[in-house]
Structure 1
Amino acid sequence: MNVLLIHQNFPGQFKHLGPVLARMGHRVVALTPKVKTRRSWNGITLLPYATTRTSSKDIHPWLADFETKLLRGEACYEAAMALRDKGGFTPDVILAHHGWGEPMFLRDVWPQARIGLYCEYYYRADPPYGHFDPEFPPRAPLKEPLRLRMKNLNNLVHSDIADAALSPTKFQADTFPPEWRDKISVIHDGVNTDEMVPNPDAKLDLPDGTTVSRDDEVITFVNRNLEPYRGYHTFMRALPELLKTRPAAQVVIVGADGVSYGAKPPAGRTWKQIYIDEVRAQISDADWARVHFLGHIPYDQFTSLLQVSRLHIYLTYPFVLSWSLLETMSVQGAIIASDTGPVRELIEDDVTGRLIDFFDPKALVAAADTLLNDEAARDRLGKAAREHIRRYYDLRSVCLPQLLTWVTDLAQMPPRAEAEQPPTE
């Protein structure tokens, strides 16, 4: 079987599935802007595509997001045409994350290919999705549903080309309308629970020269970027009292200064610094020395961080769930998390973790203090969390078999009616 993978940040969600398909003897090719020249990775042929046009300066802001996706879709189409006409490649199956627009024209290149799309999120204005955080109201509340409708243009363009679809969580799948939802299978990418394991001997070197281990009281907070969508503002507002309440704690924060989701900060500033500035005067220099911002760290250090963590805090809007939550559960971490929709799919209160109100820093401090004083509860919650991940999200025994079945079922779907091929160049 010929398989084509499409991902703007390859391998992304195909990190495990792609190599397994290659090892099974399938010919697997990937189109991605992450490489500049043809190369091989884990049995997969990686081919580059690149956008040559730039976004318009004066386009309506509601269309700016879609235009960037259109540019990627056009560039990917041109690379696909070359792969078809010069490379002689015809995929039986195309697996693509359509969030960046790349596969929007691939049905025009290969009309009979079976296309499976990775569905991460469908933007909605109704509660609890829209207007979740009153601190950041939309600039034009009456127009917000209209803006979000336009933000879904990319989803709408792709709805007709998908033969089947995937979402990693039920929460994310349920954001999509019925015509999408009927095609979506809920299968997570999977957690390698053989690698993400508890390690009583784990250690981590911090930037100030401190080395922490399981003997230390380490509190962790992890996100790709430090921003309100992931509760960074709530966490920072809890920090002054948390440091006073836990005088031995080392607080380790992972995340970059950018924006993954939501609104950008005021020009010239970062959300990270905005909330440092808000709380810094409430924290003594001695306590501030126990706060460690690591930025982005290599995966082996990230694993060690989760393994030394005595308490992990995870907060999120009702949005895409972070891999880090599942990985923390896999290493048997004790977790306090926000009582929001995507989290409740993984965390049952006082069973696999503890849930708090997303907006309540005082509740966060109280829950953290209680759990840090209760080793037996941390042990119970951590073991239950790991067992939950092993039972429902284990990469090799659960998710990969489900994903392979999904791909097989997709490949066995009857091809669409023959359509006119686009002209060769």
Structure 2
Amino acid sequence: MDEAVSMLADRIEPGDHVWWQQGPSEAITLIDGLLRLCEERESEEPVHAFSGLSLNPRFGEPLPAGIDLTSYGAMGTLRSAAGAGRLGIVPCHYSAVPRLFAHRRLGADVALLQVSAPDDTGQVSFGVSADYGADLLEHSRVLLAEVNHAVPFNPHATTLSLASLDAYIETHRPLPENSVRTPDAVDLAIAGSIAELIPNGSTVQAGVGSLPNAIYGALQGHSELGIHSGVIADPILDLIDSGVITNSRKEIDRGVSVGAMALGHRELYESLPHRSSIRFRETTYTHNPAVLSRLGSLVAVNAALQVDLNGQVNAEMVDGRYLGGIGGQADFARAASATGTLSIIALRSTSRSGSTIVPALSGGFVATGRPDVDVVVTENGVADLRGLTHSQRAAALIGIADPEQCESLHSALGEQHSPSLPRTPRLAMSSHSS
């Protein structure tokens, strides 16, 4: 029995509820040890585990019967577990995750943490995050850690005392990186249209991936932007270094880019301790409606799998396959539309499953409701839905769909003729306005 399995076996009982951090903060050595322990205990009551976004390749393999795995979505390598029927999805806003644990709707008996080596005062750091992990510490009976010497000690992330840990092992394992393809012509076309919608001085929220990377790249001509987002991604560093992101006009956290976690490459992770203008905060802050409502400059840019002709957004499932989750999309979209500046949904007009502008969402799953969607953007243009009736919204969305799908979309509406609305409705705001 190796060191990780031995430590876990002494402290995790059958039926316990275990959670771990997500993304590059995953305690992969401990998680893999837990899976081996569950294989050994296969005939006993399963361990109940909660995971967020995973970059752990082990979840691409069959899971032992001795673990019952739950998440708020099928992100990263968890898609494989979802496809195999081994992942339970809790459909909730990301802002609700800490509250579900606080109210014991989800269990937190044992935490599996990844932390840095201690500093001179005996403090260890999450290094590249705060996120829900910072919120769940107080609800956990046992704190077990992988002290990973590859994790940078970052005073701008969550820190805790090494002495507060019940047990730990030491490793030197590179943090998993989030590799995405280079943005293509379609990504760049969408990004260019979105950049025209974002005024100078905006506080921007966007995700990670090829399209968000393209969107950040398209903002190089802007000025005085701020960041308040769930994720700090690689391109944000370029915008900070070029003087585009200054956070000088944010209503709160002025001068500071705020995120829940970093997700990118090694250069991003290693630079964070030296960048006091990037701070990681717990989910109960980054996604808190009361906090977001104070950001009148907020522009939220979120991706979708599908948008229906009412403007409702599916970010979870297509063709019976769970590919994502509600996540923080609705948290930010609602705030940006109601008390901020603009809520934007971005997507390619087609996917492997066909048109992404659809008469009805796959499975009927709605991640973000139509009142919280101001603008939808594809490579074919911009549909500004603000102030439009149901029929006008449908016409505007058909106008940015794949041209080969427009006739079938009209037929689905029972229309005999194409509505006489312009392909790209006139926008209320001018580009690069101050």
Q: State the TM-score, normalizing by the size of structure 1.
A: 0.32
Q: Which has the higher contact order (CA 8 A, sep 6+)?
A: 1
Q: State the TM-score, normalizing by the size of structure 2.
A: 0.31
